[in-house]
Chain A
Amino acid sequence: MKIINFLNTGISRAVKSWKGILIIWIFSLILAGFISFPLSSVLKRSFGNSMVTERLMDGLDVEVFADLGSNLSAFLFPGLFFVFLIGFILTSFLNGGLFDSFREDAGEFSVSAFLSSGARNFWSFLLIAIIIRMIIYFTGVLFVGIPLILLLMENSTPGNSPLIILIITSSLYFVMLPVLLLVADYARAGKAANPGWSGFKALGFGFSKTFDRFGNSYLMMIILTLAHVLFILLVINTIPFWKPQTGKGVFLMFLITQLLLIINLALKAWRYASVTASGEPYCRKNAPVSDLAD
């Protein structure tokens, strides 16, 4: 029952911070604009009055883009790298505001408080995001990538063992993922409640908190991630296949993708807020000076 309480609290706190969710959405749209506007103009200029784009009506056609040669990829790949990098840094900043707004004693949501706590928590949040992301990638290679390569390199039959190994290790990986998310979320909730903490201290706190009340929080995280994964699967299996044939249809598609993106952000906020609620209280609110120097 505790879990349901936390999830409910998570919903109400996420709803209370709806403005924060919208701010993140707007930033993501602006960032995407850094690529989509030049892309759109390169495409328009390159195709001119050609009708070859008709061939895109039914879906991607590599031959259509091949004629654009390297001018497309020349800006696209560096551009994407830049936007993804900035995106990672920016979301760390904005998450700082979001976690702060989810605190039990956060009071009314205010944009200025959101941004200032984002700034205050920025370096620690960035550190936590980088470390957890690295662990996720590294263990992904270890638990899924290498067994997959072994399976592909495997030469003969003896009992399909590489396939079984792959199934076991990748299951382990997916079992482990929610743990890593819990660590990241507790670390950030702890940091938001204790502004004096360093990123590493917060991360250590995240680990200990995760295993402190593992049973409950793990189950809760499973529910949260499952809901999010199902939602993402829904998006992946619909939007890419939707091929509106008119300008109005395309605009409608754009509105719906943005709506889906907001729901995606809300689901994430729900996770952050629920985990925050489940971990309360977070140490002393007024930490002694000696702790600040930690």
Chain B
Amino acid sequence: MRKNLYLFFLIISTHLCYPQIINKIPLSERITGYQIDVQLDPVRKCINGTLKGYWVNKSPETVPDIRMHLYMNAFRSNRSTFYKEAGDSPGINETDPGWIEIFSFTDNQNRDLLPSMKFISPDDGNPEDRTVISVTLPEPAKPGDTVFVNIVFETKLPSRIIRTGFSDDFYFVAQWFPKFGVYEFEGIRYAGKGEWNCHQFHRNSEFYSYHSVYDVTITLPEKFIVGSGGMLISEEKSANNTKKLTYRAEDIVDFAWTAWPGYSVFKDKWNNVDITLLIPGNRINQVERQLTAVRNALEYLDRNVGPYPWQYLTFVDPPAKGGGAGGMEYTTLFTSSSSPVMPPFIHVPEMVTVHEFGHAYFMGILASNEFEEPWLDEGVNSYWEVRMMDYYYGSKSGMIDHPLLKIPDITSTRLGYVSSPSRQATTNAEYSWNYPHGTYGMMSYQKAAIILHTLTGIVGEETMNEIFREYYRKWAFKHPSGKDFIDVANEVVRKIHGDRFGQDLNWFFDQTLYGTGICDYKVADIINQKLRKPEGRIDSHDTLSYEGTDTDSLYSATVQLERIGEVTLPVEVLIHFEDGTEKQEEWDGKSRYRDFTYTGTAKIEWVKIDPQFKIKMDVNYKNNSMKLNPDRTPLKRLVKKFVAFIQFFITLNAV
């Protein structure tokens, strides 16, 4: 009861401070909120200002402190955990490093909290890392309490742009202000007793954050064209040729913005979503491609996962000098990547746009913990990226569409996994910065996506859509874990297919997501043995009838299949006989080998395991099929063309 009363006052109070402006009803619980008022200093490359924020203790526990991320301190020196892991330096010039300084930290009763603020390094104990602070509260926050903070801060942007930074007069500003961690308690992800989930900033890691409301005022020179993850509420002229922009954003996980005088702005609309594209003026020829890509992604995810709940989105194609900001997501703002010269058959800009937009769902709406389960946003999002690219740009040409070379996105993603020499080094149950041997990208993007495509091959695309629709319904604007996703998958598959795939799909995820094994099925041999009439001393009666048959043409025909990998998945087997007949068999794939034998007048001509290549995890397609007399025409053709190429090259190269 008491808690409910608190909640009541909380809702009243926070809603007075943060009234509804964009969304009619809040999309999220809005456990945190920020009012930020800053100025951009283009000479010092600094952003100075004030932040008023709140955090609501929704847990059933009393919490003695608050924790906040100071991500910008990752760029402070080469001793930060970020740069130690990168084995690199933010630069030696005075203007190179990035940092964030807190000049004043008070609560709503104006009590100074600076003395109780300390830098902590919960992940690696690095005393020189300053990316997380803990502030002991004057009074612990009881369940339902709201903690208000007032901070005066300065953020210096780094010159070497890694997602965020400046280059000349280009600015991309993200994860730039003191930002609350997430207080996890029972019911949220894997938490038992309540504790702050507030990791240091790592080289291989993204973020984890509450859905928040943002009221942000930015003052900067008039010449800048600005884009942000918020809606522009007002624009006023200020002193000294500056302007003051006020933005409002609701239910997003970070308020990022960019400023550069060189942007051209393009507008578009999809249903009721206003789309804004900021792109360098010399890339006008890329505008239609980019807008089409984002409309495609909106349509596809809206249809197959759930509605895009905001009325606007802004995306940015950064100029070459700001290339380090490209390909990143901040929900209602994201960055793509292209160039003035980009042949239409290369779909990389579209891929980046579709991918980064997809993150509005997988991390934006479904705000998983990217520090601890990177596959749940990058892998899931890459799964959808592949589906969208190959749907809109051709199932054989999602990535490259040239008459001489076509590459679908599924192929480039699969090859990223199967051709990695470290594909068996670890599982996906790894924190993002702990992936060994440079496997972070391969494991959390490609392998995870290929696992989900393999599951699609097993349960079907419509079932996958239903899994994601349910995942969205259940977990939108919350913080799902991998386990929550798997629970939804189990529930939906059981509802649609009964126990056709077992009690649940844990057998699948345990082997693939949480296992290091590979999947590889192989055709070992085809044996066609002629059956002979009983000859010699026959002591028993043969059950086969030879009457009326020319026994010379009776065969015992066998295909010998083997499982080389550790992962066991159900596979289809297609067997083709000389007389044109075919048999489709199912193999649960569990045993180490499996033979299929047929007695009849026709010999087996060929056999294919997984004839439709549904099991994308199979690391070797070459051994999935066998034909007694394979047609080598395509290989011969290739070699002959290669010969001509060499000859032409030699004779033309010689001046």
Contact = CB atoms under 8 A, between A and B. Distances in A.
A247 to B, nearest CB: 6
Contacts of B625: 50-52
Interface in B607-655: 608, 620-628, 630-644, 646-655
A258 B622 CA distance: 32
A44 B632 contact: yes
B281 A67 contact: no
A154 B320 contact: yes
A185 B322 CA distance: 48
Contacts of B606: 51
Nearest to B323: A153
A48 B644 CA distance: 25
A74 B112 CA distance: 66
Contact of B650 (A52, A83, A247, A250): A83
A156 B650 CA distance: 41
A243 B304 CA distance: 38
Contact of A40 (B281, B403, B622, B639): B639
Contacts of B630: 47, 49-51, 53
A62 B411 contact: yes
Given A32-B647, A264-B651, 4 more contacts: A28-B647, A57-B634, A67-B621, A155-B320
Contacts of A235: 648
Interface in A184-237: 184, 232, 235
B293 interface: no
Interface stretch (A86-94, A138-146, A168-176, A275-283): A86-94
Nearest to B412: A62
Contact of B651 (A66, A153, A261): A261
A69 B632 CA distance: 20
Most A CB within 10 A of own CB, among B264, B321, B622, B642: B622
Nearest first, the 3 closest Cβ-Cβ pairs linking A and B are: A157-B281, A87-B650, A156-B262
Size bracket of the B interface: 35 or more
Nearest to A247: B633
Contacts of B608: 51
B650 A59 contact: no
Interface of B: 170, 261-262, 264, 280-282, 319-322, 339-341, 403-407, 411, 414-415, 418-419, 606, 608, 620-628, 630-644, 646-655
B404 to A, nearest CB: 5
B634 A54 contact: yes
B282 A257 contact: no
B38 to A, nearest CB: 25
A48 B637 CA distance: 17
Contacts of A154: 282, 320, 340
A253 B281 contact: no
Contact of A156 (B282, B406, B626, B648): B282
Given A59-B405, A91-B650, A154-B282, A244 B633 contact: yes
A184 B271 CA distance: 64
A29 to B, nearest CB: 7
Contact of B341 (A35, A43, A52, A148): A148
Interface string A236-266: 0001110111110110011001101100110
Nearest to A188: B655
B654 A43 contact: no
A63 B653 contact: no
B644 A261 contact: yes
Contacts of A162: 282, 340
10 contacts: A29-B647, A56-B635, A88-B653, A129-B655, A152-B340, A155-B319, A156-B319, A184-B655, A241-B404, A254-B640
Interface of A: 24-25, 28-29, 31-33, 35-36, 39-40, 43-44, 46-54, 56-57, 59-60, 62-64, 66-69, 80, 83-84, 87-88, 90-92, 95, 128-129, 132-133, 136, 148, 151-157, 160, 162-163, 181, 184, 232, 235, 239-241, 243-247, 249-250, 253-254, 257-258, 260-261, 264-265, 268
Given A245-B633, A257-B641, A133 B655 contact: yes
B621 A32 contact: no
A245 B320 CA distance: 45
Contacts of B319: 155-156
Contacts of B640: 250, 253-254, 257
A39 B648 CA distance: 18
Contacts of A32: 642-644, 646-647, 650
B414 A59 contact: no
Contacts of A35: 642, 646
A14 to B, nearest CB: 14
Nearest to B322: A155
B104 to A, nearest CB: 38
A251 B341 CA distance: 39
A83 B264 contact: no
B407 A62 contact: yes
A92 B282 contact: no
Contacts of A260: 644
B627 A49 contact: yes
B636 A247 contact: yes
Nearest to A63: B411
B634 A56 contact: yes
Contacts of A90: 650
Contacts of A49: 626-628, 630
A221 B34 CA distance: 72
Contacts of B633: 57, 244-247, 249-250
A77 to B, nearest CB: 13
B449 to A, nearest CB: 15
A51 B604 CA distance: 14
A39 B320 contact: no
Given A29-B647, A66-B419, A154-B340, A232 B652 contact: yes
Contacts of B624: 50, 52
A133 B653 contact: yes
A91 B638 CA distance: 25
B467 to A, nearest CB: 27
Most A CB within 10 A of own CB, among B339, B411, B634, B638: B634
A132 B418 CA distance: 45
A184 B621 CA distance: 51
B642 A181 contact: no
Contacts of B262: 155-157
Most B CB within 10 A of own CB, among A51, A151, A239, A247: A51
A289 B362 CA distance: 84
Nearest to A255: B640
Nearest to A241: B403
